Amino acid sequence: MVKYKALRQIRLDKGWTQGQAAKEIGIQQSYLSKLENDQALPSLEILKKIATTYHCHISDIAFAKEVKENSNESLGRLFYIGTALILTGFLSIALAYFGIIQNNTAYTYQLSQYENPKHQSEVLIPNFIVTDEFMGEKYREPYQGTDGTYILLGERTISPLINRVFYFVGMILTLMGLALQTVRLVKHKK
């Protein structure tokens, strides 16, 4: 909590208006007014700016215990946000890596034989089928009244666009989370 009466008194002792003091501190005059009237709770950074500008100690303008609690609260939020970003990033990367959203393997099947009923005219059926679904080593597929038997010709690893997007987003989220954790650790050491 800010010692709002002391905050106002120090400013008046310097002979500054709220506008002059706010300009020196680097904040809006309306925000300084709220601080002096106990209508806002400043961050530790703002308190440091005020103390530096007024040439006083933070404990002269705020209760030290509450300043420390606010600082710890801020560090706690950074920890949880950073952790959530890292976990979300890893989840996104895992979804892409394991092909959960879209399969990372394409299967190619070749027509081995087909049956054409005598009462139908010649029907052209595809010689090859490429799919991301495994149908077995051999499978039958009806096509315009005919039955074709397909055998697995091969499989290959592919990289669908959606999986590449998940990789990219996952990397960005993980890096953002690590950056927040680094900021938290640096602030914690101060």
**pLDDT 10s digit of each residue in the chain, 190 long?**
678 788 889 889 989 999 999 999 999 999 989 988 888 888 888 888 998 998 888 888 887 654 555 555 677 788 899 999 999 999 999 999 888 888 888 999 898 876 665 555 565 677 888 888 888 899 888 776 677 888 999 999 888 899 999 999 999 999 999 999 998 888 777 6
DSSP state of 122: P
Distance between CA atoms of residues 35 and 152, nearest Å:
74
Please give the backbone phi and psi of residue 48, each rounded to the nearest 5 degrees, phi first: -65, -40
The total of other beta-carbon atoms located within 10 Å of residue 15's CB is: 7
d(C-alpha 17, C-alpha 28), whole Å: 13
- In this structure, the number of other CB atoms found within 10 A of the CB of residue 159 comes to 12
Name the residue ranges covered by the structural domains of the chain. Answer: 4-62, 77-99+161-189, 105-157
For residues 82-108, b (16+ Cβ closer than 10 Å) or e, as one string? beebbebbeebbebbeebeeebbeebe
Residue among 97, 113, 116 nearest 105 (CA):
97
CATH of 4-62 among 1.20.5.510, 1.10.10.10, 2.160.20.10, 1.10.260.40: 1.10.260.40
